[in-house]
Amino acid sequence: MAQEVIFIVDDNRMNIQLLSSILTKENFKIISTLDSPKALNIAVEKLPDLILLDIMMPKMDGFQVCQKLKSTEKTRYIPIIFLTARNDEEGIQKAFQLGAADYVTRPFNRVELLARIRTHLDLKKTHERLLELERQSSILAMAVTANHEINQPLTVLSGNLFLLRESLDMNNLTEKQIEYMQRLERAIMKIKTILEKYRNADSIRFKNYIENTKMVIFEK
């Protein structure tokens, strides 16, 4: 099982070292930065499972970082926990308005912090699973629709090929004519096999096709 990745964004090196020490003992993989503007590019590139974010930082504060992450498609669903010495009501309210998952004030309780981290990682997994099920359900519905739409013209094609064979004297056909009919017959059988696979698939998975395009694989 792959290690879950936690991204620490804090301009205080000691804070990062303390958190890293606590979290690595819990088998989390840690990445970190002292530079808040760089955090945006790192998050997009590494796609961590959760972000621990300070508020009071130079160049770009935690609120600005959170807002940018939540407005970026690739990072918008990564849970962000603000971990900060700021404990005023206005700051807490703003954090949640910007889309933060949680807000923990320093000095923090180690057990409580770990519990909150695990809670939000579990929620993220549940959310991802629901999205996957929804996507699979949509694809299966499209497969049923395609099956229904293709079946009618396929039946017409198959029936007319049968009538054509019945109306011809097969002994007087050229090799080329017979070959053409056999090609049609094989193509019809292949389409029927594909539709059967769509109908009876137990699961689906996604496979890279070309560049950023993915192919849906239906499996028994």
The pLDDT, as a whole number, for residue 220 is: 67
The pLDDT, as a whole number, for residue 44 is: 95
Decide: 219 and 201 in contact? Cβ < 8 Å: yes
Q: What is the pLDDT of residues 175-215, one digit of tens each?
A: 888 888 888 888 888 888 877 777 776 667 777 767 667 77
Taking 50 as the pLDDT cut, the residues of the chain under it are none
Decide: 93 and 120 in contact? Cβ < 8 Å: no
The pLDDT, as a whole number, for residue 196 is: 79
What is the torsional sign of CA 123, 74, 101, 9?
positive
Indicate the domain borders of the chain.
5-108, 130-219
Residue 213: what residue type? T
Cα 103 to the center of its chain, rounded Å: 26
Q: Where are the beta strands (DSSP E) in the chain?
A: 5-9, 29-33, 50-53, 80-84, 102-105, 203-210, 213-219
Q: Are strands 50-53 and 5-9 parallel, antiparallel or unpaired?
A: parallel
The pLDDT, as a whole number, for residue 211 is: 65
Identify the CA nearest to 6 among candidates 38, 37, 42, 57.
42
Decide: 92 and 60 in contact? Cβ < 8 Å: no
Q: Name which CATH class applies to 5-108.
A: alpha beta
pTM of the predicted structure, to 2 decimals = 0.67
C-alpha span between 200 and 145 (Å, rounded): 14
Q: How many residues does the chain have?
A: 220
Residue 178: what residue type? I
Residue 78: what residue type? I
Decide: 40 and 13 in contact? Cβ < 8 Å: no
For residue 134, give Cα distances in angstroms to 73, 128, 194, 217: 18, 10, 23, 16
